[in-house]
Structure formats: structure tokens, C-alpha cells
Amino acid sequence: PENYSVIINGYISPILVFLTIINNSMVCIVLLKRNMRSPTNTLLVGMAISDMLTGVFPLPIFLEFFATDRLKEFTPYSWCNAYKYLAELLPTIFHTASIWLTMALAIQRYIYVCHSFKARTWCTIPNAIKGTIAIYVVAILSQCTRFFDSYFVPVVLESAVYENRTVIGCIEEHEDWAMANILYMSIYYWFRVLFIHLIPCIFLVVMNALLIYAMRVAQVRRMQLLRQNKKSESKKLKDSNCTTLMLVAVVGLFLLVEFPLGIIMILLIVSNTFEVHIISKETFQILSIFSNLFILLSYPFNFFIYCGMSKQFRETFKRLFVG
């Protein structure tokens, strides 16, 4: 796994993170323009920010350890807390927010398409902002105990690189309340599997199917309007379908990269909970490395989906450079 992690986390992932920073910054700038402001775009901005931060937080770890020879040595005590927060906890928070915002986006679009009268009161920019903030808060709360359930103790170790040299590394110790409660970690990981991976993925598959069906119904309705020479109503339906298709593509890309990670997490939790050997630790690490790579790889693609499928986005983006 070390060879894979050095290549992927040390060289490929930082490039993808920098691309994500550039692309998602452009997405936010475009979608926050006055003519682009809408409840849907408000959620897309929230997703762009959380996707970007999911990659930004582990970037110092990628560059400090995986892109250098420091990975061969024990993690210095001064880096132990930073490693846990930057590589694990903070990315999990913002990745969770991205997942739940994607669910909110699908729900909102379904209301727009299938319950247009309710959309006028439910799907507003203020409600989208409140919903985004609420999702961020709940995502933080879902991980808050992990910031306090353990601590690092400095320990003198024989260097793994140099002979006759010692380094100050660390050992992670769990708090008494976390150690005493056998169910604590099981509950935490089952919560992650169910509410951050499994249920959202199943829910989004169903919502995408419903949106695709609604698009087909709308297309039939549009053909009827064209035959009746109601061109303005037909154009509105066409624009609505284009927006729905774009969001279906965004959700589809999300599912493509999230399903493998969800399956990996389920296998890990089942293995740990029931003490059943399913996959080796080394195989799990390799699968996790590649799964996280594909998730990072998907982040810059949303920008190209917006450019390719939204004429308004393309035109607003062009005006940033040509005036």
C-alpha cells in the first residue's frame, strides 16, 4: 500500500486538489453573480465549497508526508493531532456535508419538477441558505465526539530510517469514557455507513430515477405544447428539463464514485462488528486509497458538467473574461 499511497497521495491527489480549488472557485464566482442566483445554485455553491474543503484540508499532509521521504519515518509528535484532524476528521465533515447537500439538491429539484406550486414557497433562496447552514452544522455535530475521544502521548522511538537515532513519535490513547463504552465506535461507524453512505446512495438512486421519469413526462408535454403553437411555455419546459438533466448528471457522477466507498465501509464495519474476515487490512487500504482518489477526481468534473449543460453558466463564465 505504501507505493500506491506515495504515488496517489503524494503526487496525483495534490494536483487534483489544486484543480478543484481553481474550478470550484470559478463555479462559486459564476453562481454568485446576480443573474445566476437561485435556490438550486445556492445549494451548488454549498456543494462546491464543501467539495473543495474536503480536498484542501488533507493537502498539507499529502505534501508534508507523502510527497517526501518523511512517510518512512514515524509521525513526529508535533504532527500527530494535525494528522488526525487534517487527514481524517475535517475531510469527513465536509465530505458528509457534500453528500447531504447532494440529497437536498435532488429533493429540491424533485419539488420543482413535480410540485411546482409548492416550490414557490418551499424552494426559496433564504430556505436554501438555511438548509445549507443546517447541513454543515449537523455534519460537524456528527463528528464532534471524535475530536475528544482520544489524545496523543509522546513516546521516544528508534528511528525507522536512521541507525542509532531516536525520534519523538506518538501513541494514540482513548479517553476512559470511549474505552469503557464498547458500543461507542460501533455506533459511530454504523452511523457513518447508514446515514453518510448507504441511505444517501439508495435515496439518490431512487430520486434520480424519479427525475428521469419526470423529464420524460415533461418532454411529452413539451411536444404537445409545440403542436399547439405554445412556444413560450414549451421553451420554459425545455429550460427546466435542461436544468434537471444537468443535476441528474451531477448526482450520477456522485453515485459513480460514492458507491464503491460505501461498499468498502460496509465490508469494514461488518468485518469489525461480527469479527468476520472478509478482506485483508492491506486490501482495504488499497481500495480506500483508490476510492478516495476517484472521489477527488470527480470534484473538478462538476465544473465541466455545468459548462457543457448550462448555456446560462457558459455565458456568465465567458463574461468574466470578455466583459
Cα–Cα nearest to 299, from 1, 3, 48: 48
Q: Are 59 and 299 in contact (CB under 8 A)?
A: no
Task: Please tell me whether the overall predicted TM-score, pTM, comes out greater than 0.85 for this model.
Answer: yes
Question: How far apart are alpha carbons 147 and 169 in whole angstroms?
Answer: 20
Q: Are 169 and 157 in contact (CB under 8 A)?
A: yes
Residue 80 per-residue DSSP state: H
Residue-level pLDDT, tens digit, the chain, 323 residues: 678 899 999 999 999 999 999 999 999 999 999 999 999 999 999 999 999 999 999 999 999 999 987 888 999 999 999 999 999 999 999 999 999 999 999 999 999 988 888 888 999 999 999 999 999 999 999 999 999 999 999 999 999 988 889 999 999 998 888 876 778 888 898 999 999 999 999 999 999 999 999 988 888 887 887 777 777 777 777 888 899 999 999 999 999 999 999 899 888 888 877 878 888 888 888 999 999 999 999 999 999 999 999 999 999 999 998 86
Give the three-class secondary structure for 174: strand
- State the chain's maximal CA–CA distance in angstroms: 88
Give the three-class secondary structure for 307: helix
Question: How far are the Cα atoms of 2, 14, 60, 206, 210 from residue 67, in angstroms, in the given order?
Answer: 12, 9, 10, 41, 44
Question: How far apart are alpha carbons 254 and 201 in whole angstroms?
Answer: 9
CB-based contacts of 90: which residues, under 8 Å, 6+ apart?
53, 57
Instruction: Give the domain ranges of the chain.
Output: 2-322
**At CB < 8 A and 24+ separation, what contacts does 69-75 make?**
69/161, 71/2, 71/5, 71/6, 71/10, 72/160, 72/161, 73/159, 73/160, 73/161, 73/167, 74/157, 74/159, 74/160, 74/167, 74/169, 75/169, 75/170
Single-letter code of the amino acid located at 269? I
Alpha helices in the chain (DSSP H): 2-7, 13-31, 39-56, 59-61, 77-84, 90-114, 116-122, 125-143, 176-180, 183-191, 199-227, 231-274, 281-298, 301-309, 311-322
Question: How far apart are alpha carbons 188 and 145 in whole angstroms?
Answer: 9
Place of cell 465530505: 95
Quick one: 2-322 is in which CATH superfamily? Rhodopsin 7-helix transmembrane proteins (1.20.1070.10)
